[in-house]
Amino acid sequence: MTKQTQSAASSISPALRALFAFVIPVFIGVIISQLINNNFVIDENSGLGVSAVILAGLGIMAWLLGMFWYGVSGMGVRGGRPLFSGIGFAVLGWVAFLVLRFVFVEIEGFGPANSARAYIYLFLFEAFALQIWTFGLLFHAISEWRGPVTSAIVSGIIFGLAAALLFQEAFYTTPMSTMYFIIWGVMYGMIRLRTGSLVGTAWVQSLQSFTTWVVIVPKALIHPGQLQSLYMAAIVAFLVIIWRLWPKSEEDVRV
Q: How many domains are contained in the chain?
A: 1
Residue pair 30/57 in contact (Cβ under 8 Å)? The answer is yes
Residue 6 lies in a domain: no
pLDDT tens track for 101-135: 999 999 888 876 567 888 999 999 999 999 999 99
Residue 158 lies in a domain: yes
Neighbours of 143 (CB within 10 A): 23
Residue 162 lies in a domain: yes
pLDDT at 18: 95
pLDDT tens track for 65-77: 999 999 998 999 9
Residue 132 lies in a domain: yes
Task: DSSP for 53-119, please give it.
Answer: HHHHHHHHHHHHHHHHHTHHHHTT---HHHHHHHHHHHHHHHHHHHHHHHHHS-EEEE--TTHHHHH
Boundaries of domain holding 245? 74-252
Residue 55 lies in a domain: no
Residue 54 lies in a domain: no
Residue 8 lies in a domain: no
